[in-house]
């Protein structure tokens, strides 16, 4: 028995409506517990909360964002960690934000971290050169791929959260220097890679 194409289209449309209603009314667990678990201080590092700028608040809302200044050994770094559970558009490839702020992309290199890799970007603007590092983490794996993030979050929504935790975007930038010893910073501050 052959099912008419029109019936298949209506069944598919009906399934899509049912799934969208389920996704609308079944909230997924966010990453708040993992954001709260990022340590403020420990052996060799000390942090303090930083307020979000007005433009950051408007971009990220209603996503949950943690912004801190850390002193790690002799290095100072600003960390921004974003949970996009309530606003998936808050998390995107950080290179878009850097370009939007007037930075020109230079080289990009990946460094190995617990459970995957992080990406270090070289940026220039008005004759000034700096580096920034970022990665996405679901608590087990770490990567710097916007496409992989999209797949993770899409599959997570389809499975109603049973496929894993919501990925958090971590962005690190030096405060008063052009670059940092990223590997040493992560060795001295292992708590960054535990969330």
Summarize the confidence of residues 58-69 as an average pLDDT: 92
Report the length, in residues, of the chain: 195
Is the pLDDT at 25 greater than 70? The verdict is no
Q: Is 150 exposed, middle or buried (0-12, 13-18, 19+ CB in 10 A)?
A: middle
- pTM for the model stands at 0.87
pLDDT digit string (tens) for 96-109? Answer: 888 988 999 999 99
pLDDT digit string (tens) for 135-187? Answer: 999 999 999 999 999 999 989 888 888 889 999 999 999 998 788 999 999 99
Q: Which residues contact 92 (CB under 8 A, 6 or more apart)?
A: 146
48 confidence band (pLDDT: 50, 70, 90): very high
């Amino acid at each position: 028995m052959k099912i008419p194409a029109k019936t298949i289209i209506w069944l598919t449309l009906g399934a899509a409506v049912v799934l969208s209603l389920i996704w609308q009314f079944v909230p997924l667990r966010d990453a708040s517990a993992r954001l709260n678990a990022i340590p403020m201080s420990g052996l060799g590092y000390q942090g303090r909360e930083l307020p979000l700028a007005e433009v950051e608040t408007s971009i990220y809302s209603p996503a949950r964002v943690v912004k801190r200044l850390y002193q790690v050994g002799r290095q100072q770094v600003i960390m921004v960690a974003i949970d996009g559970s309530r606003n998936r558009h808050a998390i995107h490839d950080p290179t878009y934000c850097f370009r939007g702020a007037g930075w020109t992309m230079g080289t990009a290199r990946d460094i190995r971290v617990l459970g995957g890799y992080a990406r270090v970007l070289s940026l220039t603007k008005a004759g000034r050169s700096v580096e920034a590092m970022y990665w996405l983490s679901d608590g087990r794996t770490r990567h710097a791929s916007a496409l992989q993030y999209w797949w993770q979050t899409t599959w997570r929504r389809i499975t109603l959260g049973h496929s894993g935790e919501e990925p958090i975007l971590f962005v690190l930038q030096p405060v008063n220097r052009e670059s940092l010893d990223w590997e040493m910073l992560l060795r001295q501050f292992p708590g960054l890679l535990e969330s």
